[in-house]
Structure 1
Amino acid sequence: MNAEELSLIQRARTDSQAFATLFNQYLPLVLKTVKAYYIRDFAYDDWLQEARIAMLNAVRRYDGSSGSRFGSFYRMVLVSHINSLLRNRLAQKRMADATAIIIPDPIPTTFGEGTVSYRIEENLFIRAELAHFIASLSDLERAGLIAQFDQATPKPDRRAVERSRAKFGSYLKEQLY
């Protein structure tokens, strides 16, 4: 390693222009190394940012006194950094994040008297709380509520149906507002 390269590496520790020059010099190595890996939802810019982080770590640790080449050292640091990213992404406790699917525009759902819920979270909350609501009904009111949604069940007492309908409507209004 010549003195000019070593000087550039040492200046890259504190000088952002020298760091950018050094990074651009090793960009082909970065692109070749990164090509072998895939992380879901990682864009080209994300890979470059992670390569810059690895470059910063390599520049801070490299001393050049042992005669090793910086390119080899940087590649080793970069591969180690990528492996850490993969371990982090594939950790069991983060699998829900890695496999989650983003729903950009949920279909609106109509409840009761023309109220509309566009938020999936609200719908999930209502489903979770619905069990508590149903448990609060009497047996007759519960049968009336089921009869409202299932046409095959026999119709119970009309008053029980009206009571369950009124309670359900007020419950939904309470949850949505």
Structure 2
Amino acid sequence: MKEEFFVSDSELIMRVKQKDNDALQQLFVRYKPVVNKIKAQYYVRNYDYQDWDQEAMIVCYEACCLYDFERNSQFGAFYKTKFTNRVRSLLRYELAKRREANRTAISYEYGNDIGIIMEKFTNDYKLPISEIYSQFLSNLSELELLSILVYLGKLSHQQACKIGRCDRLKLLQAKARCKRKLKDELF
């Protein structure tokens, strides 16, 4: 193990490019202080140390695969830049306007404990439900009653149109009126 510690970065990078997991682990451990420094600078909600290490390991592998020995001088600087950019991308994703509700959300139990949630159940119905439905049905026209029978599956559209002497559009309009009237009765 001590002999492998003195292996150069370029040798480890070449081994990582050849899919050597031990070399990746060794390179990651070598640059762990860089990860810890970046971790101390940024806060990503719901990220624990394992999430940070996993993200840093993924970026380390990507950096090894993209590293060009002739173009780049130091792997450490390249890796630090890539990891910093990844963390900033995570922050941009989290801080997007459309995710604001996720950041400011609290649990139902906590809201109930601090008194934000006030639950009141009120029953505004003055009549029993059966009387409401009876009253609702008595206020419907013949075409509206036919549309309810179609909606309940007791009649087909053709049968209802024949009985009501109307077309399908009139039947659909009657159905919409029934829904609106029932909603007015109940609420």
CA-to-partner distance for each residue in 1:96-139, whole Å, 9 max, x for gaps? 223222346998xxxxxxxxxxxxxxxxxxx9xx9xxxxxxxxx
In structure 1, the residue matched to 2:78 is 73
TM-score of the aligned structures, taking structure 1 as reference length: 0.56
Q: Which has the larger radius of gyration?
A: 2
Q: Percent identity?
A: 34
- Tell me by how many angstroms 1:18 deviates: 1.0
TM-score of the aligned structures, taking structure 2 as reference length: 0.54
1:33 pairs, out of 16, 35, 38, with 38
In structure 2, the residue matched to 1:161 is 126
- Tell me by how many angstroms 1:42 deviates: 1.5
Question: 1:83 & 1:77 partners in 2: Cα distance?
Answer: 10
Counterpart check, 1:22 vs 2:13:
no
1:4 pairs, out of 1, 8, 12, with 8
2:96 pairs, out of 76, 91, 115, with 91
- Count residues with an aligned counterpart: 119
The one-letter amino acid of 2:81's match is: M
Task: Note the residue ranges of structure 2 that are not aligned, 5 or more in a row.
Answer: 1-5, 113-120, 133-187
Question: 1:7 & 1:79 partners in 2: Cα distance?
Answer: 24
Question: 2:88 & 2:73 partners in 1: Cα distance?
Answer: 22
Aligned-residue Cα RMSD (Å) equals: 3.4
The one-letter amino acid of 1:11's match is: R
Question: After the TM superposition, which of the residue ranges 43-52 and 92-101 deviates more from structure 2?
Answer: 92-101
- Residues 106 and 37 of structure 1: CA distance in aligned 2, closer, same or farther (over 3 Å): closer
